[in-house]
Structure 1
Amino acid sequence: MKSDLIRLLHEEQHSLVVANGDVCTFDGRGVSDLYDLFKEDPGFLKGASLADKIVGKAAAALMALAEVREVYADVVSRPALDLLTDNKISVNYGIIVPHIINRTKTGWCPLETRCFDCLTPQDCFTQIEEFITLQSKK
């Protein structure tokens, strides 16, 4: 993993840094930036290196579907780590947790909950799209 991506993630307080020739930084919440990038420019993610603050199973599924090459996460959930390694994505991380918690720290992240029992990245993607569609109607 390129240490400059991790430095950029931390020093400039980004939520996601993606490098594949060009380097792009993102500051959105949850999987929104990764989802948008996957939908709008999946070719940029193929073979890319990513540095992310938090990687749960939903983010890992998007990375697997996009064929990301390597990932660094400050925090990774066990289900996300398993999905990434099962899909031959190189992973480095700060800490591993059993699951990702929600923003209010009162329970599981809603996408971690939705994706927990999914068997494939595509199954997770279906859950992610349903969740994002529901959120956009609020």
Structure 2
Amino acid sequence: MINRLTEILHGEQCSCVISNSGIIRTFRRRGIADLFITLKNEPKLLCGALVADKVVGKAAAALLILGGADHIYADIISTPALAMLREHGITVEFETETDHILNRTGTGWCPMEQLCHNEHQPETIKDKLEQFLRGRNGSCSISTTKT
């Protein structure tokens, strides 16, 4: 089944694909937005889910752990994310492992990766992400669109 999700991820140019109980959902936002929104608004979708994602850094890993995802595929995964997922018993497949996730311009660390670099507890990471998003957007209620 994870192979089917990776086909959808690449074939439909998604950023993330989640499968649970026969339901397959596709997402196209950048960064952690879709995982954050899904964990906040549809946590049951992540519980026991198979997830294929383009990039998984430590922030995404924390959200996947808190959501109870079962099996993750990533095109690119950071070493800290991989360690955290494995520590929580989540099966992980990936194409490329990297020390850390880069920002979109490739000039430095991804802000989310940098934000949670020294944190080791998924709940603490989620709290930091929530604070960051509140500061950026005025609130954490990011608008959602289903695809």
TM-score interval w.r.t. the shorter chain?
Answer: over 0.9
**Residues 104-129 of structure 1: CA deviation (Å, up to 9, x unaligned):** 11110011001111021011111110
Counting aligned pairs with the same residue, the percent is 42
Structure 2 distance, partners of 1:131, 1:30, is 13
**Residues 4-51 of structure 1: CA deviation (Å, up to 9, x unaligned):** 100000011000000002000000010000100000010110000000
Structure 2 distance, partners of 1:64, 1:88, is 9
In the alignment, structure 1 segments of 5+ residues that lack a partner are: none
- Map 1:1-138 → 2, pairs under 5 A: 2-20=2-20, 21-137=22-138
Task: Please tell me the residue identity of whatever aligns with 1:22.
Answer: I
Task: Please tell me the residue identity of whatever aligns with 1:120.
Answer: Q
**Residues 72-93 of structure 1: CA deviation (Å, up to 9, x unaligned):** 0000000100110011000000
Structure 2 distance, partners of 1:111, 1:133, is 14
RMSD: 1.2
TM-score, normalising length: structure 1: 0.97
TM-score, normalising length: structure 2: 0.91
In the alignment, structure 2 segments of 5+ residues that lack a partner are: 139-147
Task: State the 4+ residue runs in structure 1 displaced beyond 2 angstroms.
Answer: none
Aligned residues: 138
Give 3-state SS (helix, strand or coil) of 2:53's partner.
strand
Task: Please tell me the residue identity of whatever aligns with 1:3.
Answer: N
